[in-house]
Amino acid sequence: MNRALPEMLQSSDMTVLERQRARLKWQAEQFQQQNYFSELSGVFSSQTGHVQGFQQGCLMSRGGARGDSVLSDMAMTRQLKHEPGLETAWQGLGKVDMEFAPCGYGSGPSFDMNHAISRTSSCPPAVAAAAAVGSKAVKGNSLKMGSTVGRVSFKKRKVEKSQNTEVVAEDESKRIKASEEERESKITGSSTHRNSTDKKENSGDTSKLDYIHVRARRGQATDSHSLAERVRREKISERMKYLQDLVPGCNKITGKAGMLDEIINYVQSLQRQVEFLSMKLATVNPSLDFNIENLYVKEVLPSCTTNFPPVGMAPEMENHSPYLQFNPIQQVVSGCGMEMGTNSCDMALRRTISAPVSIPEASFLDTSCFTDMQQIQPSAAWDVELQNLYNVEFPGSIEASGLKMEMEMEM
């Protein structure tokens, strides 16, 4: 699909950029100076699983999700592409290739680590030239998700310029597009005409700059569009990861469709909660005057005693006992005004996420429709958010601990 390239260019991914930089620094630190060219020839002549192993080692593969691997790969390639200023980093990256290959990392495609992904790295012509190293090794092969995700995702990468042919020859499923002569000329030439633009369309230009070679899957286009698409996919998967942290219960789901499902359910449930709560507020208040005393009461830090009577009331409390300790803390911490005291009984019972309705107001509703939507899960997301809140509002912590202890005693 053709995305407008300017769109992509304008979207600034600071986090990605930072990550790229961090990664490059890490890589640069890890690997020391070497003689590129000698290594290059040596390396590439003997590459088989080395490259693939390199792939794995280099890419910090995370949990096996396709998105992760894609992301990490992409991050690497993106380093190459985006930053003309990453010249040294690029060289560092080049070193990585040299280093790893001789290490004999992998032994063939049988890693159950994360998929060996074949990539042809892309980089802006300038960087490629600057490196003057055939550094971007050809990445191995078709990736396969080993055990974790059973989805095959073929990635294309642009080979910078390197003697990919030997390596590629080992590759089963990829076809190199790069032309060797150009590569060699580049290596020998070591010209550093920097192309200041890091546009992706230039990367597709294999015409005269020819520093970038796209390796694509069989039958796929090998132009800037595919590259752009790959970048886009990376971005999407990165954002999906953020969503995974946000939406409870998404940690176990790895597929995009499943996650979108969860997200949709969550958004719908939140919207329904809003509707329901607004209805409730409408019934509670005959006129729309939410008196300030209410607000004032909430603003003030309440005494702990107000928590207990409601707490004792509800039988459902037992279900939530593991969370009870957290919830008061969270409420105290985050409330400072909002959910303190008077309301903490409600909040204490359930996290907002898990159940929309508070128990004492059971008369009001039909909450079953909500409760089955959200399972109460000890998801890590809660703890993380809790930690965040806790860190943010430190003064509240003292009350929190006091409250917690009292709650536990009560239980």
Partner 1 sequence: MPLSSLKPKMRPHSSLKQEFLKKWIMGLQRCSFSKKNMSILERKKAIKFSADIAMASARNGTTCWSRSLISNASKEGSDIHVVEQILGSESDRPAVENKVPTRRASVCKKIVKRSCRIRRRRRRRKCVASAPSSIAKHLVRKRREVLKSLIPGGEFMNEICLIEETLDYITSLRVQVDVMRSLASASVRASE
Single out the residue of 17, 83, 16 nearest to residue 239, CA to CA.
16
Per CB under 8 A, 22 contacts partner 1: no
Contact of 100 with 139, CB cutoff 8 Å:
no
Per CB under 8 A, 232 contacts partner 1: yes
Per CB under 8 A, 11 contacts partner 1: yes
Per CB under 8 A, 278 contacts partner 1: yes
Per CB under 8 A, 291 contacts partner 1: yes
CB of 144 to partner 1, least distance (A): 14
Closest to partner 1 by CB, 60 or 263 = 263
The structure tokens listed for 72 are 């990490």
Stretch that binds partner 1, among 20-28, 115-123, 260-268, 314-322 (CB under 8 A): 260-268
Closest to partner 1 by CB, 103 or 398 = 398
Per CB under 8 A, 388 contacts partner 1: yes
Rounded Cα distance, 142 and 112, in Å? 14
Q: Where are the beta strands (DSSP E) in 190-323?
A: 213-215
Stretch that binds partner 1, among 33-41, 198-206, 213-221, 328-336 (CB under 8 A): 328-336
Closest to partner 1 by CB, 44 or 276 = 276
Per CB under 8 A, 289 contacts partner 1: yes
Which position among 2, 35, 191, 303 is part of the footprint of partner 1 (CB under 8 A)?
A: 2
Which position among 144, 356, 379, 407 is part of the footprint of partner 1 (CB under 8 A)?
A: 356
Per CB under 8 A, 218 contacts partner 1: no
Per CB under 8 A, 313 contacts partner 1: no
| Tokens 């590569």 found at | 183
Rounded Cα distance, 43 and 69, in Å? 24
CB under 8 Å, gap of 24 or more: what pairs does 368-374 form?
A: 369/272, 370/269, 370/272, 370/273, 370/276, 373/265, 373/269, 374/248, 374/249, 374/266, 374/269
Per CB under 8 A, 260 contacts partner 1: yes
Rounded Cα distance, 20 and 350, in Å? 39
Single out the residue of 333, 345, 310, 343 nearest to residue 382, CA to CA.
333
Closest to partner 1 by CB, 38 or 391 = 391
Rounded Cα distance, 343 and 323, in Å? 16
Stretch that binds partner 1, among 31-39, 158-166, 191-199, 271-279 (CB under 8 A): 271-279
